[in-house]
Amino acid sequence: MLPIAVDAMGGDKAPLEILVGVRQAVDDGIPVVLVGPPDLDHDADIPLIPASELIAMDEEPGSAVRIKKDSTLVRAAEAVRDGNASAMISAGNTGATMASALLRMGRIKGVKRPAIATPIPVPGSTPTVLLDAGANAEVQPEWLVQFAQMGSVYARQRFHMAKPRVGLLSIGEEPGKGDSLRKDAFKLLAVAPGIDFIGNIEGRDIMSDTVDVAVTDGFTGNVTLKTLEGGMKALIGALLEAFSAEEYREHAAALMPALLPLYTSLNPDTYGGAVLLGVDGVCIISHGSSGATAMRNAIGVAAEMVEHHMVDEIRDAIAAGA
């Protein structure tokens, strides 16, 4: 397998934690090529693609990618395009990661718009894959059908679901519920090839075992994802606060063995990040807060996507659905 190109400078914990995660992946037998400044202090056995520029987290993605041609993100995407890497990963600027992948790798033929697929943890079950998680603030009904098809390929490969259940995120279960986008999309999804469409779902279904692929526009998807992140954080913070009083500490500590597996199963790091589906190459968008474990997991996910020829499978699914 060609090495996986990892942006050494992306994310809040770059480069140190990124390098630790890369080290772990390499030690586990996954080839990696770092993309970073020529003078990056890194282990000599890991190759480096030099890139002299950095796109910051808050830079405007479109112009940053056009102007900074020697940035880590642009160089990583070029490495995939030119056959020097099998996949790219960054925990940096999400928009710029998308723009680099889109501009350098291009779209898979027939794909109207790439979409971000994000696995949302479900306690005691496989995750729900949400897309679009933020690539397209405004969408057309036909795009949602492709999101469903691409998301189904991803759910099958990544989580070994034989027949992922696709739900359209709306505000009521009946077919007529929702805005005009949802009503139109429902009709198209009901007859679309290559997916198992179960109808409308509601927000409360996302973290339950009723749906595998939740399809929505990038505005709703992004709000949904961040709302869940904030809600979980608030609840866990409140629990820790409640348990921190002297008289509870001992009991809380005794419960840790029960809490840790739950924490791991709900931690987004476990899934290594989101995947940009629809571009002609594997592109993983890791959370800006990614540490070593998240990066190690992201590299594992990328390797799996490459080995299972996910891009080709999406190509086939789009061609069959076109």
Residues that bind its own copies (CB under 8 A): 122-124, 134, 137-138, 169-171, 178-180, 182, 202-208, 216, 218-220, 222-239, 241-243, 245, 248, 251-252, 254-255, 258-259, 261-262, 265-266
Write the CB contacts of 79 (distance below 8 Å, at least 6 apart in sequence).
5, 33, 35, 49, 85, 88
Cis peptide leading into residue 15 (ω within 30°)? yes
Q: What is the largest CA-CA distance in the chain?
A: 63
CB of 74 to its own copies, least distance (A): 22
- Closest to its own copies by CB, 131 or 317: 131
- Closest to its own copies by CB, 190 or 236: 236
- What DSSP line would sit under 157-202, residue for residue? HHH--SSPEEEEE-SSSSTT-S-HHHHHHHHHHHH-TT-EEEEEE-
CB of 302 to its own copies, least distance (A): 25
Which strands, in side-by-side order, build the sheet including 196-201?
Answer: 48-50, 32-36, 4-7, 87-90, 282-285, 274-277, 115-120, 128-131, 213-215, 165-169, 196-201
CB of 234 to its own copies, least distance (A): 4
Residue 151 bridge partners (DSSP) = none
CB of 185 to its own copies, least distance (A): 13
Instruction: In whole angstroms, give the CA distance from residue 170 to residue 195.
Output: 18
- Closest to its own copies by CB, 116 or 284: 116
- Closest to its own copies by CB, 44 or 245: 245
- Closest to its own copies by CB, 240 or 320: 240
CB of 66 to its own copies, least distance (A): 17
Write the CB contacts of 254 (distance below 8 Å, at least 6 apart in sequence).
none
- Closest to its own copies by CB, 273 or 281: 273
CB of 181 to its own copies, least distance (A): 9
